[in-house]
């Protein structure tokens, strides 16, 4: 191991020397000033790339900026992100050259199309990161490290999701090769942002001590305008339209719940029926609204709309697939309650030959999505393989008082931060899965009857890198058996989780776990050894399925957390929920024990 490190450092120094040597001409007499300049530039590149895994790629990406003796860390970040964008664009170009016959191979035709879309999302997000870094003072960069890490983590996930869906090597290999440099540079960017404070110090940028985390191991909190409120008590960033909408506070919260009292939060959305909610679109099967389908209501989203776009879905069964596009942010969709306002379809990988992403009954790509009082359902069945009820790939999503009903892959928390509360989530295999960061509080997790030879696993997280944001947390949830399955529940094996990717992070804390869960608790992923690297934790669980002494020994990083360790996975720490959940009106608590 030491030898590898030495070789890597030597390689980096040699490479940096070549880069800097293009610009710095050292004369035969060994000019001291030029030698010193070379050393300074080499030191800067070395320190910037120190945290990265692919150091040669990092140094190459800095070739242009290394020629500039006055370059700042801001210039280095811009160069690193710029090169990452360019490499992802090359991967997208390769994907666009990949042609699959729609008639003879409809699945891979759709998978390649999905791949193009995800790579475009990655490019858009990287360009947002570039804009943020370019417009931020050097001294303030650390304040945005959380945002940047959240965004770049999603960029890495998009590349992985792009490739995962394509199942034929003749289509996959060329795109994978085209993305190789992009994947390595994105990996590097994640590590660079995760070590932002240390890097700033190495460039002699002073960070106020009050802004450092206590353990100095995770990204710094974004402070800025989130903690500023105006004279009416609203956050200064809160849209004017929302101020009018949210003029009444939620009432009747139980002990420990919060809706707007947290620092930086504003008055929450009023409960349906108790406040002055005037929807922009009313959906009704009987024709009593403006629209008969949810899709038509979403399509009516005005271009460049400001504030929330509110859709009221009246009681009824709406058999359709709904897509909320990236250009339709801040949609608030509410219904008349679980089992009353139902959006359903039966698309699946196994029967419909669509991809996992495109099987979703409702797919949300935009940020700021809120849902309340709706059932999201996929009826494809246990034998139909992946069939998603709800897929969310937008930051700051909040879903509460809803149900997600399907079998395999019910809830797909695809990317970014998501919060779920007071929900019913039912399924069979990997039915809560994704590559984002999700916290599910006070919800009922229902295991259904799997296919004849099947098994049940609740979560399957897809985190892949040590510094990457991501993971799923179930807090104060009840893990139960579907009544129709109860009598036969011991005829099938049911587990809490299995690891989808190498650093899969699954946390179960303060949950009531039913007897349906096998004592060993976890199941390995077929043909992989992720049980050696994945992270699976428990804290203060109870019930007949909560005995941690019998948990599987092959999961090397399994641990029962201390209260201090468990705090890391609370909504407050894991999602920075106090900065955005209050404005959604979802009940929530930031810490342990309902507090």
Torsion region of 430: left, alpha or beta (phi above 0 gives left; psi -120 to 50 gives alpha): left
SS3 percent helix, strand, coil of the chain, rounded to 5, is: 35, 20, 45
Torsion region of 506: left, alpha or beta (phi above 0 gives left; psi -120 to 50 gives alpha): beta
Dihedral of the CA atoms 478, 483, 487, 490 (nearest 10)? -30
The answer to whether 314 touches 341, Cβ cutoff 8 Å, is yes
Q: Which residues of 207-226 are buried (b: 16+ CB within 10 A; e: fewer)?
A: beeeeeeeeeebbbbbeeeb
Is residue 515 annotated as part of the catalytic site, yes or no?
no
- How far is the C-alpha of 246 from the C-alpha of 568, rounded, in Å? 31
Q: Which residues of 163-188 are buried (b: 16+ CB within 10 A; e: fewer)?
A: bbbbeeeebbeebbebbebbbbbbbb
Q: For 144, which DSSP code?
A: G
- How far is the C-alpha of 426 from the C-alpha of 339, rounded, in Å? 13
Paired residues of 390 in beta bridges: 362, 411
- How far is the C-alpha of 48 from the C-alpha of 189, rounded, in Å? 11
Which of 75, 114, 409, 430 is catalytic? The answer is 430
Torsion region of 266: left, alpha or beta (phi above 0 gives left; psi -120 to 50 gives alpha): beta
Q: In what order do the strands lie in the sheet with 375-378?
A: 316-319, 341-345, 375-378, 403-405, 424-427, 444-447, 478-481, 512-513
Active site residues: 430
């Amino acid at each position: 191991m030491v030898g590898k490190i030495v070789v890597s450092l030597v390689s980096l120094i040699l490479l940096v020397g070549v880069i800097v040597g293009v610009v710095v001409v050292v004369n035969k007499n060994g000019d001291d000033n030029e030698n010193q300049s070379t050393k300074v530039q080499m030191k800067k590149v070395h320190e910037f790339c120190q945290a990265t895994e692919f150091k040669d790629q990092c140094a190459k990406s800095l070739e242009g900026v290394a020629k500039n003796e006055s370059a700042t860390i801001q210039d280095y970040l811009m160069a690193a992100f710029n090169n990452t964008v360019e490499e992802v664009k090359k991967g997208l170009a390769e994907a666009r050259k990949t042609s699959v016959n729609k008639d003879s191979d409809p699945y891979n035709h759709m998978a390649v199309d999905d791949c193009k879309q995800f790579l475009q999302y990655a490019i858009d997000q990287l360009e947002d990161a570039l804009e943020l870094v370019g417009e931020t003072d050097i001294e303030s960069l650390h304040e945005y490290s959380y945002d940047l890490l959240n965004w770049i983590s999603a960029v890495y996930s998009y590349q992985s999701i792009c490739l995962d869906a394509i199942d034929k090597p003749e289509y996959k290999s060329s795109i994978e090769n085209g993305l190789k440099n992009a994947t390595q540079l994105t990996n590097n960017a994640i590590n660079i942002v995760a070590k932002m404070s240390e890097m700033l110090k190495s460039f002699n940028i002073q960070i106020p001590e009050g802004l450092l985390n206590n353990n100095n191991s995770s990204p710094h909190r974004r402070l800025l305008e989130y903690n500023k409120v105006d004279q009416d008590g609203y956050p200064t960033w809160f849209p004017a339209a929302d101020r009018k909408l949210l003029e009444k506070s939620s009432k009747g919260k139980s002990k420990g719940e919060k809706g707007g009292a947290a620092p930086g939060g504003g008055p929450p959305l009023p409960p349906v029926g108790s406040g002055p909610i005037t929807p922009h679109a009313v959906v009704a099967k009987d024709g009593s609204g403006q629209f008969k389908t949810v899709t038509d209501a979403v399509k009516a989203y005005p271009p460049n709309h400001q504030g929330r776009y509110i859709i009221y879905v009246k009681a009824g069964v709406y058999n359709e697939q709904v897509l909320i596009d990236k250009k339709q942010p801040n949609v608030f969709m509410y219904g008349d309650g679980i089992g009353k306002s139902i959006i359903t379809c039966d698309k699946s990988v196994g029967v419909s030959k669509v991809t996992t992403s495109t099987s979703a009954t409702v797919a949300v790509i935009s940020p700021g999505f809120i849902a309340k009082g709706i059932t999201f359902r996929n009826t494809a069945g246990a034998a139909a393989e992946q069939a998603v009820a709800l897929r969310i790939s937008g930051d700051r999503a909040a879903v509460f008082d809803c149900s997600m009903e399907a079998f395999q892959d019910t809830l797909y928390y695809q990317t970014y931060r998501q919060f779920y509360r007071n929900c019913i989530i039912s399924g069979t295999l990997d039915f809560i899965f994704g590559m984002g960061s999700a916290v599910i509080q006070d919800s009922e997790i229902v295991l259904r009857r799997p296919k004849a030879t099947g098994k049940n696993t609740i979560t399957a997280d897809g985190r892949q890198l040590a510094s990457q944001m991501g993971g799923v947390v179930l807090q104060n949830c009840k893990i139960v058996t579907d009544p129709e399955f109860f009598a036969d529940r011991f005829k099938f094996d049911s587990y809490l989780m299995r690891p989808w990717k190498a650093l899969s992070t699954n946390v179960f804390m303060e949950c009531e776990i039913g007897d349906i869960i096998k004592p060993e608790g976890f199941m390995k992923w077929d043909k992989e050894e992720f049980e050696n690297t994945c992270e699976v934790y428990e804290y203060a669980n109870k019930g007949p399925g909560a005995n941690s002494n019998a948990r599987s020994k092959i999961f090397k990083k399994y641990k029962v957390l201390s209260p201090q360790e468990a705090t890391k996975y609370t909504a407050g720490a894991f999602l920075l929920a106090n900065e955005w959940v209050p404005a959604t009106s979802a009940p929530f608590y930031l810490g342990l024990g309902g507090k």
